[in-house]
């Protein structure tokens, strides 16, 4: 389950990922700094309803929408039903112009849910001025709101702690927040599982979408991330990261971590090129049983 369609979301590979993750019954706190549509966090909550879940993302539209699903689902459903009736290419163009600057509250969550459900390829891309710049997908007739879905998400969010939207590069503070989690919950570090799902290191110059925000996510960010992961591993937490199988990733992590490969096959893709398998890695500081996992999308 994902709160909304989200590029790079892990819905299609959840079973594979959880076969590499630690046993959920042993995890008392789950932390996700790149939560996006929260597909992984929702699956943790489904598998272990007692787990305390700490989430955050750089994108303030994402974070505001998750807060509203948790705190104000009924109003969100009501307003989305109204917007669904108005949906058209012209309405989409009007909504684009009404982009909130500092998203806060139900109205801004409605804006985001509408835009993400009707943008081409459900892409949320901002230009260098922070303006949403994706066009309308006139072939998408899927529902923008399903009260049952939002109700289901709301129920899974009982133990969600939504941290303020912010860049992962506030490394020190994030590491501090793990210490706070430990003290608050009085649990051992090995009961804390931190999963990182950052924008991937591109395997080629044209291949991958990394522009989740106007500043991108370059190798300097990847380097900071690898330092944080190492810090948390040294604190005794269980850590895992998804990334591409780019040389930089393999070179940077193979000395201190275990690397597992996740093969993704697209069975129903139209062209042979699109059917090609995609290889990703999952980097961990514990030894997962499996070496290679396949997912059929």
Ligand X SMILES: C[S@@+](CC[C@H](N)C(=O)[O-])C[C@H]1O[C@@H](n2cnc3c(N)ncnc32)[C@H](O)[C@@H]1O
Q: Which residues bind ligand X (CB under 6 A)?
A: 2, 6, 8-10, 33-37, 39-40, 57-59, 62, 167-169, 197-199, 212-213, 217, 221
Helical residues (DSSP H) of the chain, grouped into ranges? 14-20, 39-47, 60-71, 73-86, 89-97, 106-118, 147-156, 171-185, 219-235, 247-253, 272-275
Place of tokens 């997962």: 288
Residue 167: CB minimum distance to ligand X, A: 4
Q: How far are the Cα atoms of 1, 5, 60, 143, 145 from residue 149, in angstroms, in the given order?
A: 9, 13, 22, 11, 8
Concatenating the DSSP letter of every residue in 15-60 gives: HHHHHHSPPGGG-SEEEETT-TT-HHHHHHHHH-TT-EEEE--S-H
Give whichever of 87 and 170 is closer to ligand X, judged by the CB atom.
Answer: 170
Instruction: Say if residues 226 and 253 touch (Cβ distance below 8 Å).
Output: yes
Tokens at residue 292, please? 């290679």
Residue 82: CB minimum distance to ligand X, A: 26
Give whichever of 30 and 217 is closer to ligand X, judged by the CB atom.
Answer: 217
Place of tokens 């900071």: 224
Tokens at residue 232, please? 């948390």
Give whichever of 77 and 225 is closer to ligand X, judged by the CB atom.
Answer: 225
Residue 11: CB minimum distance to ligand X, A: 7
Q: How far are the Cα atoms of 149, 233, 261 from residue 1, in angstroms, in the given order?
A: 9, 28, 23
Phi-psi category of 219—alpha, beta or left, where left has phi over 0 and alpha has psi -120 to 50? alpha
Measured CA to CA, the distance from residue 207 to residue 196 in angstroms comes to 21
Give whichever of 79 and 111 is closer to ligand X, judged by the CB atom.
Answer: 111
Give whichever of 103 and 199 is closer to ligand X, judged by the CB atom.
Answer: 199
Give whichever of 102 and 271 is closer to ligand X, judged by the CB atom.
Answer: 102
Tokens at residue 287, please? 């030894």
Give whichever of 61 and 79 is closer to ligand X, judged by the CB atom.
Answer: 61
Residue 212: CB minimum distance to ligand X, A: 4
Residue 201: CB minimum distance to ligand X, A: 12
Give whichever of 36 and 73 is closer to ligand X, judged by the CB atom.
Answer: 36
Residue 161: CB minimum distance to ligand X, A: 16
Cα 138 to chain centroid, rounded: 26
Residue 200: CB minimum distance to ligand X, A: 7
Residue 20: CB minimum distance to ligand X, A: 14
């Amino acid at each position: 389950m994902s709160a909304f369609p989200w590029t790079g979301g892990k819905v299609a590979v959840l079973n594979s990922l959880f076969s590499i993750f630690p046993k959920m019954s042993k995890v008392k706190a789950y932390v996700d700094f790149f939560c996006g549509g929260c597909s992984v966090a929702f699956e943790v909550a489904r598998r272990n309803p007692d787990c305390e879940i700490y989430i955050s993302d750089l994108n303030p539209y994402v974070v505001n929408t998750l807060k509203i699903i948790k705190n104000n689902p009924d109003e969100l459903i009501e307003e989305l039903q109204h917007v669904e009736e108005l949906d058209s290419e012209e309405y989409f163009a009007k909504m684009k112009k009404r982009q909130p600057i500092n998203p806060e509250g139900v109205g801004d969550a409605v804006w985001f849910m509408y835009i993400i459900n009707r943008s081409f390829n459900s892409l949320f891309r901002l230009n260098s001025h922070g303006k949403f710049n994706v066009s309308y997908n006139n072939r998408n007739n899927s529902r923008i709101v399903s009260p049952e879905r939002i109700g289901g998400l709301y129920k899974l969010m009982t133990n969600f702690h939504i941290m303020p939207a912010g860049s992962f590069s506030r490394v020190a503070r994030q590491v501090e927040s793990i210490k706070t989690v430990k003290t608050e919950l009085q649990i051992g570090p090995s009961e804390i599982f931190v999963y990182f799902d950052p924008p991937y290191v591109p395997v080629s110059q044209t291949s991958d979408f990394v522009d989740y925000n106007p500043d991108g996510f370059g190798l300097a960010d990847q380097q900071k991330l690898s330092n944080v992961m190492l810090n948390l591993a040294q604190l005794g937490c269980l850590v895992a990261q998804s990334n591409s199988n780019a040389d930089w990733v393999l070179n940077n992590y193979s000395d201190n971590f275990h690397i597992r490969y996740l093969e993704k096959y697209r069975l129903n893709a139209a062209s042979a090129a699109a059917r090609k398998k995609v290889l990703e890695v999952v980097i961990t500081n514990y030894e997962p049983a499996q070496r290679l996992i396949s997912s059929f999308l």
